[in-house]
Copies of this chain bind each other. A is one copy, B any other.
């Protein structure tokens, strides 16, 4: 496996983005909280900037007002000539690219942690782009070891060859926290506190790295996308059923050939017909109905993560 180069300098410019989706309330209120109390985010070797990523969607308590901001950080959106017809989020993505990037440049932020909620029963999910991202894998491992009371499954979202499109992709490196279940527009105290604690631990990891700590090699278990599965539909495209009760809330659990997958309004059950056991996630996520996604099928795999060598002391 070819690994991305790990940082050879301390990470000095770090951001935490919340409200990338304006109705995912843990990140919305953590960003607002830290904008008032930024000292909580500082560490001896670096500063962290809190960012309310999508203020208009947050004010409207909607995922977005024009288009999904977190699918808008591709080169075609970021580099196109601005026009008055651009959706708000296209303009906002360019602003954020100036603030935290520019993407793929030496001027970009060193790390971005992006904060999300899901209506699915995904618990404390850590999202990174791929297994090649050794630094992010060590950060995920640190969060798992520091939160022994919580399963913290790692989801690697990027399909082979797919261009990165998420907000953290404008920085040199990044990851997302995906906590659920939490309804859109609801702020649960338990998830707020859990997310706050996880961000603190992520910053502690960066501080340890900046101070010259070495992190040994390990084996990582993770989930990666196999395919996205739509709801059963009528001929005119409306829902013909929904997730089966035996699959609902079973994110990260194995789904085997012949197990119930959907229940039609007619009462009929649709079975999973794939040959390989898959691990569905984002099961019945509210925001994905419009994307035609009832769940994401993942495969579970294990891979070696090489040691993260210590930074040399400053000359």
Contacts and interface: CB of A to CB of B under 8 A. Distances in A.
Interface of A: 29, 32-33, 61-62, 119, 181-190, 192-193, 238-239, 241-245, 248, 263, 265, 284-287, 289-290
From A32, A186, A243, name the one whose CB has the most chain B CB atoms within 10 angstroms: A186
| Nearest 7 A/B pairs, CB to CB | A183-B183, A185-B286, A119-B183, A187-B242, A189-B263, A186-B286, A189-B245
A183 B242 CA distance: 14
Nearest to A286: B185
B245 A190 contact: yes
9 contacts: A119-B183, A119-B185, A183-B186, A184-B184, A187-B239, A189-B241, A189-B242, A190-B245, A193-B245
B184 A248 contact: no
A287 B23 CA distance: 12
Contacts of A181: 183
Contacts of A29: 239, 242, 265
A251 to B, nearest CB: 14
Contacts of A183: 119, 181-184, 186, 286
Nearest to A119: B183
Nearest to A284: B186
A188 B289 contact: no
Contacts of A284: 186-188
Nearest to A287: B185
Contacts of A285: 186
Contact of A61 (B188, B193, B241, B290): B290
Contacts of A263: 189
A265 B40 CA distance: 13
Nearest to A285: B186
Contacts of A187: 239, 242, 284
A224 B81 CA distance: 59
Nearest to A118: B183
Given A32-B238, A238-B32, A265-B33, A289 B189 contact: no
